Amino acid sequence: MGLREIELKEEYRSDENDIVSEFFFPCLSNCIEYDRCVDLLSIQTLATISMAFDNFAVGKAKIRMVTGHRFRTVDLNLFTKLFSEKYTKSFKGKLIKDTKIQKLQDIVDNGQIELKIAIPNSEQIADSFSERIGIFRDEDDQAVAFTGTSSESFSTQTRDFESVDVFTSWNDKSRVERKMKDFEELWENKTKYVEVYDFMYAEENNLLKYSSEWITQD
């Protein structure tokens, strides 16, 4: 099944919808590419996304993530292990079941997840990156773009009250193409007011910040 076969709404809102089960999981399960900008990213969220991404099982799906430069200490340590070539052996995750973190490591090693960091470089912008867009693509070259949610919080106990506006390539092609263009320019570091770095470059050059305040326990 492709994205076009999903019965999508124009908007999902926490008071009326389960955004994760009604929107995110169906789209993740029926796409082969997922581009995402988030202000905050945890290892739990990335692992859950990869588990929901059915096409990862056959090695053809890919995720590109752009996030801000503030991380919880345990998340930053695990991300560094995942993306660093220094760590060639399996490791155990304290927050996530070993099988889940191992699967995530295998996917990263296979080049199916790429992570970049966006850092504001202008006095006109506050000290953190907080763009909130996402794009799903399927094998039929159909796309679904969305805006409005800060992150995929898959915890049933700690989800924020949020809304998501949805646009499809078959009903709103120009807007979807605009979102795709915006993401590509950001990914290629062609967006004004921010600098975008590969995660490991940012980590090795001390551009990332630890924070216990910004991200709550998943």
Q: Is 27 a domain residue?
A: yes
Q: Is 93 a domain residue?
A: yes
**DSSP annotation string for 31-95:** -SEEEEEES---HHHHHHHHHH-GGGGGT--EEEEEE-SEE-HHHHHHHHHHH-TT--S----SS
Higher pLDDT, residue 54 or 200? 200
* E strands, the chain, in order: 11-13, 33-38, 62-67, 70-71, 113-120, 133-137, 143-147, 163-168, 194-198, 209-210
pLDDT at residue 90 greater than cutoff 70: no
Q: Is 216 a domain residue?
A: no
CA separation for the pair 198, 163 (Å, rounded): 29
Q: Is 218 a domain residue?
A: no
CA separation for the pair 25, 19 (Å, rounded): 9
pLDDT tens figures, 119-161: 999 887 777 888 999 999 999 999 999 998 755 555 545 567 7
Vertex 57 angle, CA 51 and 60, to 5°: 110
pLDDT tens figures, 15-74: 999 898 999 999 999 999 999 999 889 888 888 888 778 787 778 899 999 999 989 888
The DSSP bridge pattern shows strands 33-38 and 194-198 to be unpaired
The number of domains in the chain is 1
Q: Is 194 a domain residue?
A: yes
Nearest to 83 by CA among 128, 43, 33, 134: 43
Q: Is 217 a domain residue?
A: no
Q: Burial of 155 by CB count in 10 Å (0-12 exposed, 13-18 middle, 19+ buried)?
A: middle
CA separation for the pair 116, 109 (Å, rounded): 16
Q: Is 40 a domain residue?
A: yes
Domain range spanning residue 119?
Answer: 3-210
Q: Is 161 a domain residue?
A: yes
Nearest to 128 by CA among 117, 139, 113: 117
Higher pLDDT, residue 100 or 121? 121
For residue 99, the domain's CATH number is: 3.30.870.10
Tracing tokens 């996530």 back to the chain, one arrives at: 96
